[in-house]
Amino acid sequence: MIQGYWHPQGSAERFVATFEINDLGRYAIVLEDKTAYRGDASSLKVSERLGNVARKIILDDGSMFSTLDNDGIDILFKGRQKVNAVIHYMETHYRAVIVAFMLSIATAFSFFKWGIPWASTQIAHTLPYETNNLIAKGSMKFLDKVMFEESTLSDDTKEKIRLHFNDKLSKLSIEDESEIVYKLHFRSWTMDGTEIPNALALPSGDIVLTDKFIQIAANQDEIDAVMLHEMGHVVHRHGLEMLIEGTFITVAVMMMTGDASGMGDMGVGLGSALVSSAYSRGHESEADLYAFKKMLKAGIDPKSFSNIMARMTTYMTEDYSRKEKGEDDEFLDYFSSHPNTQQRIDLANRYSECFAQGLTTCK
């Protein structure tokens, strides 16, 4: 028999009462004036055990019995309240708390490390192509506002590259995404007083080439190599994946903390994502592989890709070394998202060997 209080529904009053359950699974709550409330114990709703907080038992009529005898409740409802037992065990055993904490950390890490990227990829490739145009709308205006200036390249140079791209490269992706309409944009990009040699692509098929990139390129094949790389990002919908991933992270932060003020700019627009984030190494590798395969079909030596990447890296590194160390650490932040790693160079060289053998495919 458990001592406690009975509370009428919708009332602040309480009355001293006892609670018990017989062998037939029937409960009885008896007040001091002998008033009794009886019924089937399976119909009762019992609150979870939280430390020494009073336990509450809700009856069918909305009235409630409360008691501080948590052990007594556990005994009476043994086998019926498994969740309560687990929670109480974890609360009273520090090792269980540590294990639960570590499992929570591992689960959260796995969710952010693998779960979100996987889900983002599935969603990005399920959405219709029109979604790419929708999210990219206004992105060029945003980029022109925060990053770019008008190109100083001659109209003849820009027109020559556009015509070459339309005649030779854009058709190569028809078998992958026939709905993509590519458009080249030429811009000047300066960061900390240095012109940036780079290229980037929006999901809609808009590809931006910077003036310094065109000036550094030794020949058309090197320009083509980088443009095919950017086409790989478009075909594989990396920009859309990145945007969805950023939105997932924002929502996850809001759910865990109730506040996403620190990440409020993520998922707002593709232009913002391209400025503040970088493609993952997986994205870069996938775009590299796409470019190398298309280069073989187009009769372009994949060695051109490693050549232009090495030249851009050398340019950025030499220029950075001329600056006083510690004052311009943000100088290479964006460019570092396209690392000229040995793995990428090795892959380009492997495809270059296939090219030298006259192959159009490479294993």
Domain membership of residue 361 (yes or no) is no
Q: Which CATH number does the domain housing residue 73 bear?
A: 2.30.29
Q: Do residue 148 and residue 231 come from a single domain?
A: yes
Residue 215: alpha-carbon gap to chain centroid: 35
Domain membership of residue 232 (yes or no) is yes
Q: Do residue 39 and residue 142 come from a single domain?
A: no
pLDDT per residue rounded down to tens, the chain (363 residues) = 899 999 999 888 999 999 999 888 899 999 999 999 999 988 898 887 777 788 899 998 999 999 999 888 888 887 555 555 556 556 566 676 687 778 878 887 787 777 877 888 888 878 887 777 777 778 888 889 889 999 999 999 999 999 999 999 988 887 666 678 899 999 999 988 889 999 999 888 999 999 999 999 999 999 999 999 999 999 998 888 888 877 777 766 666 655 545 444 443 344 444 444 456 778 888 999 999 999 999 999 999 999 998 888 888 877 656 555 544 444 444 444 444 567 888 899 999 999 999 988 887
As given in the structure block, the two tokens for residue 255 are: 């759910």
Please give the Cα distance from 128 to 134 (Å, whole number). Answer: 10
Domain membership of residue 48 (yes or no) is yes
Q: Which domain holds residue 164?
A: 131-356
Q: Is 229 exposed, middle or buried (0-12, 13-18, 19+ CB in 10 A)?
A: buried
Q: Hey, is 323 helix, strand or coil?
A: coil
Domain end marker among 81, 115, 150: 81
Q: Do residue 148 and residue 57 come from a single domain?
A: no
Q: Do residue 164 and residue 224 come from a single domain?
A: yes
β-bridge partners, 195: 190
Share in percent of the chain as helix, strand, coil (round to 5): 55, 15, 30
- Tell me the Cα Rg of the chain: 32
Q: Do residue 306 and residue 162 come from a single domain?
A: yes
Residue 148 has a CB neighbour count (10 Å cut-off) of: 19
Q: Do residue 136 and residue 211 come from a single domain?
A: yes
Domain membership of residue 122 (yes or no) is no
Q: Is 139 within 8 Å of 270 (Cβ atoms)? A: yes
Q: Do residue 49 and residue 169 come from a single domain?
A: no
Please give the Cα distance from 14 to 212 (Å, whole number). Answer: 80
β-bridge partners, 199: 209
| DSSP string covering 156-197 | HHHHHHHHHIIIIIGGGGTTT-TT---EEEEEEEEETTEE--
Total number of domains in the chain: 2
Question: Where do runs of H (alpha helix) occur along 217-260?
Answer: 220-235, 238-257
Q: Do residue 73 and residue 183 come from a single domain?
A: no
Domain membership of residue 105 (yes or no) is no
Residue 55 has a CB neighbour count (10 Å cut-off) of: 24
| pTM for this entry | 0.65
As given in the structure block, the two tokens for residue 210 are: 């910077």
Q: Do residue 212 and residue 77 come from a single domain?
A: no
Q: Is 177 exposed, middle or buried (0-12, 13-18, 19+ CB in 10 A)?
A: middle
Q: Is 49 within 8 Å of 83 (Cβ atoms)? A: no
Q: Do residue 241 and residue 140 come from a single domain?
A: yes
